[in-house]
Amino acid sequence: MRVVLSMVAKDLRRRWRAPIPTLVLLAFPLIFAGLVALTFGGGGGRPPKVHLLIEDRDGGLVGRLVAAAFEQGEAQPYFEVERVERVAGDGGDLLERREAAALLRLPAGLTGDVLAGRPARLELVKNPAQSILPDVAEQVSTVLAEGLSSAARLLRGPLDQLRAAFTPLGPRGDDGSDRRVAEIAVLVNGVVRRARPYVLPPVVTLQTTTLGATGGGRQAGGSPRGPSLFLLFLPGVAVYSLFSLSDQTMRDLLVEARLKTLRRQLAGPLTAGRVLVGKALATAAVAGLSLVFLSVLAALVAPRRVDLAGYLLLSLALVVATTGFASAVFAAARNERQGATLANMASLVMAFAGGAFIPLDSLPGVLRALAPFSLIYWATRGYRQLVANGGSLRAVLPDIAILAGIGLVLLVLSAPLWQRRLLRGELS
């Protein structure tokens, strides 16, 4: 054991003496998450507002309710609503001129259709030049449309009564009386508020997906200031960096083969297995120390209370996963360069598919379907649960089990490959 520890100490010392590659990989997640927070969230790391144009061709109660939905409650901090008159064409010119994320068209007769239970269609025109913001508007609108459908079905009784009150209003439901509209709105809002906990699950609201929280959704009644973008992006990018750091350390076995120090070690009283264990432990040590460094820094930049047991176990599982992954990739690679290329490609694919760089909800369906095959997905999911959503150990147990399990399997599978290469003299 002393010999193995000596090998680990030697590798850590070497890394300490040539720190640039390690520092670059450690700085990457901080710089990336920091830039995202600064770019989209201003100085405070708050998410950007979605500039939404609303063309209300309905002009009735439902149309006003839909427009109001973007300006009230939890959606309010994220939307800047601008009402526009009739827009010609597809609205592309207007979107560009106003630098808006999307244009939401409320069709004529929307109020009547909803009250009568007839199908109605909202139209959303997205501005692709506005990055992910149009997607946010789309998701909110989708939820609104679903909410309206649910409300139309669930509030069938009250609506029938209300329809009578609207009859004199004409087909567009417009009597020009703000007082009557206000009365009806208060009545419906009262019903909706009472029904909300049962029929409108708050987790479906969009702000949890793209604007700052995570797929798990923020609890109703929670802080109106969602988790900062820094903490949203940091876990995924940090996990990606840890995979790269582990690759770098495990690759050192092939570097040592090139330097002939591996040959020299094997000429000493060491078995190939012991050399391999030494390098795997060094890899785990580098990943573990890097994780501590990133955690401390993140805690200083954005303090947050987390479940310590969950955090430690998830981190341990991640260290096992990164070590196993690096060991498997470099055991299969014919040489150092091939291993580095393979590891980079695999890590990048896992990071993209795992939602490390771009939130999963913004990815195409194909990538979302691939996400569970990515180790980075499970690690990122686990950290976001703990850090952004205040999740407990119980919430991240599946992530811990999957990371540790796959990591161990990869270690066990790669060990004989290394052993064979070492014994056959391929690396010496």
Partner 1 sequence: MIRAETLTKRFGEKLAVDGISFQVEAGEIYGLLGPNGAGKTTTLSMISGLLAPDLGRITFDGIELASDPLRIKQRLGVVPQEVALYEELTALENVRFWGSLYGLSGKALAAAAERALAQVELTGRARDAVKTYSGGMKRRLNLALGLVHSPRAVLLDEVTAGIDPQARASILELVRGVAAAGAAVIYTTHYLEEAERLCDRIGIVDHGRILAEGTLDELKARLGEEEVVTLWGRFEADVAAAALAGIPGTRVLSAAAGKVALAAGERGAAGLLAEIYRGGLAIDRVAIEPPSLNSLFLRLTGRELRD
**Which residues contact partner 1 by CB under 8 A?**
2-3, 6-7, 10, 13-14, 17-18, 259-261, 263-271, 425, 428
Residue 261 or 344 with smaller CB distance to partner 1: 261
Containing 344, the helix (H) or strand (E) segment is helix 336-353
Q: Is the Cβ–Cβ distance between 245 and 286 less than 8 Å?
A: yes
Q: Residue 15 CB, nearest distance to partner 1 (Å)? A: 8
* Nearer of residues 2 and 394 to partner 1, judged by Cβ: 2
CB of 422 to partner 1, least distance (A): 10
Q: How far is the CB of 268 from partner 1 (least distance, A)?
A: 5
* Residue 360 C-beta-side C-alpha neighbours within 13 Å: 24
Q: Which is nearer to partner 1, 267 or 300 (CB)?
A: 267
Burial classification of residue 121, based on how many CB atoms lie within 10 Å of its CB (0-12 exposed, 13-18 middle, 19 or more buried): exposed
Nearer to partner 1, 39 or 271 (CB): 271
Residue 418 Cβ vs partner 1, minimum distance, rounded to whole Å: 16
- Select 194 or 263, whichever has its Cβ closest to partner 1: 263
Q: By three-state DSSP, how is residue 123 classified? A: strand
Residue closer to partner 1, measured from CB, 118 or 263: 263
Provide the minimum distance between the beta carbon of 421 and partner 1 in the complex, in angstroms, as a whole number.
Answer: 13
Looking at the Cβ atoms of 157 and 425, the one nearer to partner 1 is 425
Q: Least Å distance between CB 257 and partner 1?
A: 11
For residue 270, the minimal CB distance to partner 1 (Å) is 6
Q: To the nearest whole angstrom, how small is the minimum distance from the Cβ of residue 390 to partner 1?
A: 43
Residue 21 Cβ, how far from partner 1 at the closest point, in Å?
12
**Measuring CA to CA, which residue among 223, 412, 411 is closest to residue 323?**
411
Residue among 76 and 261 whose Cβ is closer to partner 1? 261
Helix ranges (DSSP H) in 268-335: 272-301, 308-332
Q: And the tokens for 205?
A: 């609201």
8 vs 404 by CB, closer to partner 1:
8
